[in-house]
Chains A and B, each alone.
Chain A
Amino acid sequence: MLKKINAWVEERLDLSTLRHLTLEKTVPKHRYTPLHLFGGVALFFFTVQIVTGILLLLYYKPTAGEAFKSVEFIVTQVPYGWLIRSIHSWSANLMILAIFIHMFAKYFLKAYRKPRELTWVSGFILLVLAMGFGFTGYLLPWNELAFFATGVGTESVAATPVIGHWLLLILRGGENVTGATLSRFFAIHVTVLPLVIIGILSIHLLLIQAQGMSKPIGIKEKGEIPFVPNFMLRDLMMWLGALIVLVGLATFFPWELGHAVDTFASAPAGIKPEWYFLSMYQTLKWMPPFFIGISGELIGITLISIAGALVLLVPFLDRKASREEKSPWFTIIGVLAIIFLIAITIYARFS
């Protein structure tokens, strides 16, 4: 029966690529192989986001009057609604964490070097998009913290020269964070970003399939393992582990709902963004109001943009790695970047 179906499909479609993937594709096996698994973990969390996101959409109402109540309804009345919502929030954070680990792993293994520059670039875009998901999704429960934090987050856009105010109006749908902001954040979160991310993600995965997995510079081990089933089973193990951690977190630490927005109330003390924005938040906070006549916020945003651009252009900057030579300076910079990011995030969280 299975053979018949296979023959029927074979007559109509060219399955040689799929056959290659399942039967012939191999992955280099060396002591760093486990580091290659975090991309798959990020992909797993992304899939969880799609599934739980669709389930939340069944009950969520994206209006200022209904949003908070609808989330409250989801977590109190809908069967397993609490679990779905909690998993969605936890998975969003774990996805970004997995992307960070994946990115740094690839950075230290110099996997971005020729010919995989575009894989790195598309990966960086995916990180930015994932953070965009986080930023837009944070406002959707329309709770007090999200409302005021979004106010602060969108405010920094206004520092952009010439078009700053215009950008702010586009983002907020007016001068202030209102129901109009909620509507457009919802639209961006459930239509624009998913479409763009699926496009970029397809390119990213296609590039990986086309070029295979990179082998770190100077690795002498020549072993290869079949992608199916050996590497696939390793992926599955990681996914199972990720699922246990995810459900455990959602069960023992259900994501807080907070308090409904009161637009007339003053902002509560200690408003801070999500952990993955804390380094940027602290950088902006450290900026003086003005420095040689230029607004501190603009300087901060420029510095963050330059840092982002440098990360994006790493494959083109690391000339040594592209010649298959060791580039210790990039390794040192990477270690310093990790220390800086962790230190500034911890400082911003507890200061």
Chain B
Amino acid sequence: MKTRTILILIALISFGLGVHADETSCEICHSKLKGRLSQPVTQWKNSIHQQNDINCANCHGGDPSAKNMKAAHSRSKGWIGKPGPIQIVKLCGTCHANESFMKKYDPNSRTDQLKNYMTSNHGINIMKKEDGRAATCASCHGAHDVLKAMNPRSHVYPENVVDTCAKCHGDKKLMAQFDISGNEVADYKSSVHATALYKKHDLSAPTCNDCHGNHGAAPPGAASVEKVCGTCHVMNQKLFDESPHKEWDEIGLRGCVECHSNHAIKPPTDAMLSTDKGVCLNCHDSTEPAFKTMEAMYKTLTGLETKLMETREMVNNAAEKGMLMDDAMLKLQDAKTAYIKSRTATHKFSSDYLDHIAKAALVDVTNIQKLAKERLMEVTKRRTSFYWFGGLFFILLILLGLKIRSMEK
């Protein structure tokens, strides 16, 4: 009876302390060590692998049930110690390229990562050239703290992935060895895409892997760059393909990049079409018909933008004066959409086409201006009526005061 009570107590205390019966000797020993020898256990304990019972021995080999270090680290039990770059790729591929194995955990899981990786510059450097400076799976996903990509703590979560790439691509010395500038990350962080990602927390904003691919990482070629941007900017790509610039790749020009740059993409402005500092001037001069097209498009767009701003001011002015402007505000949204559509239309590089699209926006703006003018006139009418009414009643008030004074004299 006494023994049973003691056993129950031990079981309860063990449970309370969180000691699991299936804890491996790797965890038991390494968690007692310090620094880099205990860190893998701490990191692994929060990882997706730990949650799915993939333990140390699955990658490092050895005997996780052994009672001492020598037996646990036995080469005869397959212990490999710290795997090298090629080993890492192969080890990850053992499971992640095995469709039937991965489906046990997630029926929608991809298993083409290794295949893609082998086609990438990273994969070619590691696997074919045996150049350990390139990235392996662990360089991006972490060695022990591997998490699902959409876990906000994951190294490859959209808001973290740029910094993960920056570990190597932000290192100018290292990048110089591969003939890469190393400015890409800084450029990206100054871009409109980074603003959307970091300031607006828009996870759909592109990061490195959205354009370069994640496992099959490689820069898009001149012919494909416009298709890469077109993944999100569908209309721009469609219009560009219908434009006189569609043959750019044949002369080695890189679609969107020629005007918008690649990593440091700034918010587009009408000034990109201006006759003094427009991007068209990079290739065209003022004697060419393209210059006239640029000039006409710039005039249309700036004219529309000015009108839109004027209209917004009129609507706000009427609203500030107490007029109900909800209908005008709604129409203003439509006009703004039409204006954005007009800016998109510039990618066809046809001033006639732009005029045709901008006409719809102009009609919207004109109608709103008419509405705002009517409301502002109504404000004036109301206020004028009040001046008359107020003035008249004020005179009456004075007369009453005088009457009281004369009565009581």
Contacts and interface: CB of A to CB of B under 8 A. Distances in A.
Contacts of B400: 233, 236-237, 240
Given A247-B386, A251-B382, A254-B322, A240 B396 contact: yes
B105 interface: no
A240 B397 contact: yes
The number of chain B residues touching the other chain, given as a range, is: 10 to 19
B381 to A, nearest CB: 10
B401 interface: yes
Nearest to A231: B404
A254 B385 CA distance: 15
Contacts of B322: 86, 252-254, 256
Interface string B368-409: 000000000000001101100110011011001101100110
Nearest to B327: A76
B408 A244 contact: no
Q: Which of B322, B385, B407 has the most CB of A within 10 A?
A: B322
A254 B397 CA distance: 24
A248 B386 contact: yes
Given A237-B400, A251-B382, A252-B322, A244 B390 contact: yes
Contacts of A251: 382-383, 385-386
Interface string A74-98: 0110000001001000000000000
Contacts of A248: 386, 390
Interface string B266-300: 00000000000000000000000000000000000
B138 interface: no
Interface of A: 72, 75-76, 83, 86, 225, 229-230, 233-234, 236-237, 240-241, 243-244, 247-248, 251-254, 256-257
B324 interface: yes
Contacts of B323: 254
Given A240-B396, A251-B383, A233 B390 contact: no
Interface string B182-226: 000000000000000000000000000000000000000000000
15 contacts: A72-B324, A229-B407, A230-B408, A233-B400, A233-B404, A240-B396, A243-B393, A244-B390, A247-B386, A248-B390, A251-B382, A251-B383, A251-B386, A252-B383, A252-B386
A233 B396 CA distance: 11
Given A229-B407, A233-B404, A257-B324, A244 B383 contact: no
Give chain A's interface secondary structure class.
Answer: helix
B99 to A, nearest CB: 43
A90 B153 CA distance: 54
A230 B396 CA distance: 16
Given A244-B390, A244-B394, A248-B390, 12 more contacts: A230-B407, A233-B403, A233-B407, A237-B401, A237-B404, A240-B393, A243-B393, A244-B393, A251-B386, A252-B383, A254-B322, A257-B324
B23 to A, nearest CB: 43
Contacts of A256: 322
Contacts of B394: 244
Contacts of B404: 230, 233-234, 237
Nearest to A243: B393
A110 B368 CA distance: 59
Contacts of B401: 237
A240 B399 CA distance: 11
Nearest to A75: B324
Contacts of B385: 251
B369 to A, nearest CB: 19
A75 B382 CA distance: 13
Contacts of A233: 400, 403-404, 407
5 nearest A-B pairs in the assembled complex, by CB-CB distance: A254-B322, A251-B386, A240-B397, A237-B400, A244-B390
A243 B389 CA distance: 10
A237 B382 CA distance: 24
A325 to B, nearest CB: 32
A75 B322 CA distance: 11
Q: Which of A83, A229, A247, A251 has the most CB of B within 10 A?
A: A251
Given A251-B386, A252-B383, A254-B322, A237 B407 contact: no
